[in-house]
Amino acid sequence: MKDTGEKRFDMLAKPKKQAWYLKPVAWAIALPTAWAHGLKVNKVNMAGLKPPYILLCTHHSFIDFSVTTAAIFPHSANYVVAIDGFIKRESLLRNVGCICKRKFTNDIVLVRQIEHSLKVNKTICAIYPEARYCIDGTTSLLPESLGKMCKVMKHPIVVLNMHGDHLQQPVWNLTKRKIKLMADMTQIVTAEEIGSLTVAEINDRIQKAFEYDEYRYLKESGQRLVSPKRAEGLHRVLYQCPHCLTESQMDSQGDRLICGHCGKTWIMSDQGDLNALEGQTEFVRIKDWYEWERANVRKQIEDGTYRFEDDVHVDSLPNAKGYIRLGTGKLVHDLNGYHLWGTFDGEEFRLEKEPLSLYSVHIEYDYLGKGADCIDLSTLEDTYYLYPVHAKNVVTKLHFATEELFKVVQAQKKAK
Percentage of residues in the chain having pLDDT higher than 70? 99
- Which residues, in sequence order, are bridge partners of residue 130? none
What is the predicted pLDDT for the residue at 414?
Answer: 87
Question: Is 374's pLDDT higher than 80?
Answer: yes
Please report, for the chain, the start and end positions of each structural domain, with discontinuous segments joined by +: 20-220, 234-296, 308-415
What is the predicted pLDDT for the residue at 107?
Answer: 81
Q: Give every CB contact of residue 137 below 8 A, 6+ residues apart in sequence.
A: 166, 167, 170, 213, 214, 215, 272, 286, 287
Confidence of residue 3 (pLDDT cuts 50, 70, 90): low
What is the predicted pLDDT for the residue at 78?
Answer: 97
Percentage of residues in the chain having pLDDT higher than 90? 93
Question: Is 262's pLDDT higher than 60?
Answer: yes
CATH no. for 308-415: 2.30.29.30
What is the predicted pLDDT for the residue at 7?
Answer: 84
What is the predicted pLDDT for the residue at 4?
Answer: 52
Q: pLDDT (tens digit, 9 = 90+) per residue, 162-189? A: 999 999 999 999 999 999 999 999 999 9
Q: pLDDT (tens digit, 9 = 90+) per residue, 12-38? A: 899 999 999 999 999 999 999 999 999
Q: Give every CB contact of residue 361 below 8 A, 6+ residues apart in sequence.
A: 104, 375, 376, 377, 398, 399, 402, 403
Q: pLDDT (tens digit, 9 = 90+) per residue, 112-148? A: 999 999 999 999 999 999 999 999 999 999 999 999 9
Q: pLDDT (tens digit, 9 = 90+) per residue, 220-243? A: 999 999 999 999 999 999 999 999
Question: Is 109's pLDDT higher than 70?
Answer: yes
